[in-house]
């Protein structure tokens, strides 16, 4: 077996989250007084990389930051989390990506993303890390980058027989040719509907959507259902994996926490259902804390949480 440089290679986005907490979301044309403002490092790629690293994973990340203070802050975060940043590039023209987030008192969020430098990561730069992809245990991808880059990353991983976990967010249509090379697809209800054409409202309809996606050639589909858990569909059939009820404070990074945990669990040999239960616990813990990266739990916290709920 070829030697792995890292268990997980995340090719993805960096977004500095600018978060306004408010009693409620304002109506069109309305101004209201907010409760607080905070700045948190985030972005689906960075969130998922940190989620896996805090759980004990050996993680590397590839992507692009601006030559600015937000970019410097992200490199510090990666260093603090022991994530290999050797494949993170800087862009002299575009700024580091940002996310503008409005968060109400119930923990619900509205998000506007300005990708910035993330969209400037190009095919040539991706090609330079083909050897890194080939020596990874699993490659994690999202859709906050140029879609051509994401598709080519899937192709390169497939070429070297490296599993791919694709979190198809933000939601959009994707080429069937690319989806057929994905090992693990992790849509939420909205994303599953867009990709399968089936309205997902519960575990039963999630199962139908997952089967429709498997018919496109995807080996494993995990439909995330928020606090209700997840529906997993693999080679042995479909299974509903219940979630862990908690009091939500901030749902911003819940899906990213889930994905980072799922990737680590499957690369370490857990069954898809076992991996989803572990990921459900990580996602549940994340929503009990504010922020994106600051909310992501450690392995000891997750183990303790799950031990109390057996």
Domain boundaries, the chain: 6-26+36-307
Residue-level pLDDT at 2: 46
Residues 81-104 pLDDT 10s: 999 999 999 999 999 999 888 888
DSSP character at residue 95: P
Rounded to 5°, the CA angle 67-59-283 comes to 100
pLDDT band at 236 (very low <50, low <70, confident <90, very high): confident
Q: Smallest Cα–Cα separation from 56: which of 300, 307, 309?
A: 300
58: Cα separation from own chain's centroid: 16
Residue among 17, 84, 91, 256 flagged as catalytic: 256
pLDDT tens-digit readout, 128-159: 999 999 999 999 999 999 999 999 999 999 99
Q: Which pLDDT score is estimated for 3?
A: 52
Residue whose C-alpha is closest to residue 219's, from 232, 206, 202 = 232
CATH of domain 6-26+36-307: 3.40.1190.20
Q: What is the pTM of this model?
A: 0.91
- Annotated active-site residue 256? The verdict is yes
Task: Name every residue whose Cβ is closer than 8 Å to that of residue 220 and which is 6 or more positions away in sequence.
Answer: 183, 184, 185, 232, 233, 234, 235, 272
């Amino acid at each position: 077996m070829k030697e792995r440089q890292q268990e997980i290679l995340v090719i993805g986005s960096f977004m500095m989250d600018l978060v306004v907490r408010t009693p409620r979301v304002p109506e069109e044309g309305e101004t209201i007084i907010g409760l607080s403002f905070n700045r948190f490092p985030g972005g689906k790629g960075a969130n998922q990389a940190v989620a896996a690293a805090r759980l004990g994973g050996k993680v590397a990340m590839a992507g692009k930051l601006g030559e600015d203070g937000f970019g410097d802050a992200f490199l510090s975060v990666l260093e603090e989390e022991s994530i290999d940043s050797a494949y993170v590039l800087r862009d002299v023209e575009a700024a580091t990506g940002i996310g503008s987030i409005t968060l109400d008192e119930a923990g619900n969020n509205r998000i506007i993303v300005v990708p910035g430098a993330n969209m400037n990561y190009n095919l040539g730069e991706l090609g330079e890390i083909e050897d890194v992809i080939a020596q990874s245990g699993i490659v994690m991808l999202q859709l906050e980058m140029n879609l051509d880059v994401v598709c080519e990353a899937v192709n390169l991983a497939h070429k070297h027989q490296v599993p791919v976990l694709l979190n198809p967010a933000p939601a959009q249509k994707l080429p069937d040719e690319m989806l057929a090379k994905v090992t693990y697809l992790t849509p939420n209800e909205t994303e599953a509907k867009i990709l399968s054409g089936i309205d997902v409202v519960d575990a039963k309809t999630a199962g139908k959507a997952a089967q429709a996606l498997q018919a496109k050639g995807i080996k494993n589909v995990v439909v995330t259902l928020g606090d209700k858990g997840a529906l997993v569909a693999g080679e042995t059939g479909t299974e509903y994996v219940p979630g862990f009820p908690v009091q939500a404070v901030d749902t911003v990074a819940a899906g990213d926490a889930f994905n980072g945990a799922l990737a680590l669990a499957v690369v370490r040999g857990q069954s898809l259902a076992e991996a989803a239960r572990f990921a459900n616990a990580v996602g549940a813990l994340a929503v009990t804390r504010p922020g994106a990266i600051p909310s992501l739990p450690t392995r000891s916290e997750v183990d303790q949480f799950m031990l109390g709920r057996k």
